[in-house]
Structure 1
Amino acid sequence: MKKNHLFLLGRKADLIDHGGNKVDPLEIETAASDLCQKCFAFGVEYQVYGQKIALLMIKPITKKQLQKKLAQRLEKFKCPNIYLVTNEIPLTSNLKISRSQLAQAYRNGEYDEI
């Protein structure tokens, strides 16, 4: 609640803990939505920062263009550390996205980095 307005930012478990900052993946996805066909942000465990920010995309523009555009749209600490490409985004049996499953697939080497 803020000034009699209710803001729903997503599930607390989906927030990315990057260097002590809580980053909403939806904010990153919104900033990148016109730079690829589809995208999802998620956290990947990392000892130094808690989590690195990964962005999984279908048919993105080049990595250099992505970094430049996102640096203009997001605060520095919210910019992805890892850029990944895939041909399809896996869904759960309920036809939803599981960010923890995306992180596990990344650890298993299922996505290509750009």
Structure 2
Amino acid sequence: MAVKQQFQSFEDLLAGASGPVLVDFYATWCGPCQMMAGILTTVSSQLKGQLKIVKIDTDKYPQIASQHRIAALPTLVLFKAGQPVDRIEGVLPADQLVAQLQPHLG
């Protein structure tokens, strides 16, 4: 299950993570983002314990979105040790998303 979190800073969130963090940049009005939410639930259960999924509403945190040059929604960014290592724009089926994330995990 993706966690909606309140945090002091995005950097703190990333720094405090023990493993990879997949950040879902979304907006409530974005149709594809709604589709992605269901896909992420599937991915989360398939990759249980291997990564943390965090959702960031770009309307609430525009400064984080611009800092990471988020142009399209949804955009997923995978962070390892606080650094972005992969970026996925648009909706991907769960199996393709898992396949793309797998090399960065474990």
TM-score w.r.t. the length of structure 1 is 0.26
Bigger radius of gyration, 1 or 2?
Answer: 1
Q: Larger relative contact order (C-alpha < 8 A, sep ≥ 6)?
A: 2
